[in-house]
Amino acid sequence: MTSKKDDPDPFPEESPLNFVPSAYGDVMNRHFGVAKALGFTDAQTVEEFYGFHYNHVATFHCHKQGFGCGLFFRLHDGRVFDVMAGPHDPDPSLYDQTTH
């Protein structure tokens, strides 16, 4: 007989399917490092480069009509930025939808 301690929790608090918001920070750090290494920015910090902290990101998009594939951060206030800190149109209908 197995004890309760040995029995895996069928609904763990964290699983690969539960998104961790700091993952936005990881992505932002990586792209900031690239921009810095290529000489695209003189910013000293990720927050200075992007103009926001990863906690301000509500979600992300992977496609924008008229732009194509990419990574776009949508902030809680509705603004949208790409991974190189460029602002984009905040209209939600432009993102993550395909046209035929």
In a domain, 49, yes or no: no
In a domain, 74, yes or no: yes
User: Which residue stretches of the chain are H helix?
Assistant: 22-37, 46-50
Average pLDDT over residues 81-88: 96
Verdict on whether the full-model pTM lies above 0.75: yes
Predicted confidence (pLDDT) at residue 64 exceeds the cutoff of 90: yes
The predicted-structure confidence for 19-54, as pLDDT tens digits, reads as follows: 677 899 999 999 999 999 999 999 999 999 999 999
In a domain, 63, yes or no: yes
In a domain, 69, yes or no: yes
What pLDDT does 18 receive?
A: 59
User: Which CA distances in Å does 51 have to 3, 8, 63, 74, 92?
Assistant: 51, 42, 22, 13, 21
Higher per-residue confidence, 28 vs 2: 28
57 vs 80: CA distance, rounded Å: 9
2 vs 30: CA distance, rounded Å: 44
- Number of structural domains (the chain) is 1
Q: What range defines the domain where residue 92 resides?
A: 58-100
What pLDDT does 14 receive?
A: 44
